[in-house]
Amino acid sequence: MTIVFLLTGFNRIQGQNLTTNLDHLKLANAFFVGSWQGIISNDTVAWDCQQYENAFVINVSNVINGKKSFSYVMDIGFSSNDSKFKGFILYQSGIYMTWIGSFASEIKLIGDYVRNFDPDAVVAKFEIVLKTPTKLTINNFNLEGIKTGEYEWFKVK
């Protein structure tokens, strides 16, 4: 039992060192900032993101016949204390979601959808993989690790 604990503890420490050595803000800039488009449920969705020091603001719109209509806003903050991003997604109906995540590598951000920023109240998981500087994939997973969605996004400017 002691060996299992030591190995588990070592893996956690090792994993923490991997993520803290990354330049999270620089990576987030490549992942989020700019204008991106994707297809979700046969609809074109666009996001426009700006960075404000350790914060990112993303406005997401549905695109119908070339015209954008507001869908939701996502505010993301980065804490250097724990090397984690915290995201708040707010829909126009008032419904919201929160998430916590960090970079696992230079091309992958992983995170948990959580209730009210509580890291112990995970409701689903996600990963964002930067395939090229102009293409990324967002994958959603349930708590059992089964993929529930895969969405490709393309940077348009």
Q: What are the tens digits of pLDDT across the range 41-53?
A: 778 899 999 999 9
Q: Residue 11: count other Cβ atoms within 10 Å of its Cβ.
A: 10
What's the whole-model pTM score?
0.81
The C-alpha atoms of residue 68 and residue 63 are separated, in whole angstroms, by: 5
What are the sequence ranges of the domains in the chain? 23-155
Q: What are the tens digits of pLDDT across the range 97-124?
A: 999 999 999 999 999 999 999 999 999 9
User: Measured at the alpha carbon of residue 50, what is the angle toward residues 101 and 71, in degrees to the nearest 5?
Assistant: 80
CB 151 within 8 A of CB 137: yes
Give the architecture-level CATH label for domain 23-155: Beta Barrel (2.40)
Residues of the chain whose pLDDT is less than 50?
A: 1-18
Taking 3-state DSSP, the helix, strand and coil percentages for the chain, each rounded to the nearest 5, stand at 20, 60, 25
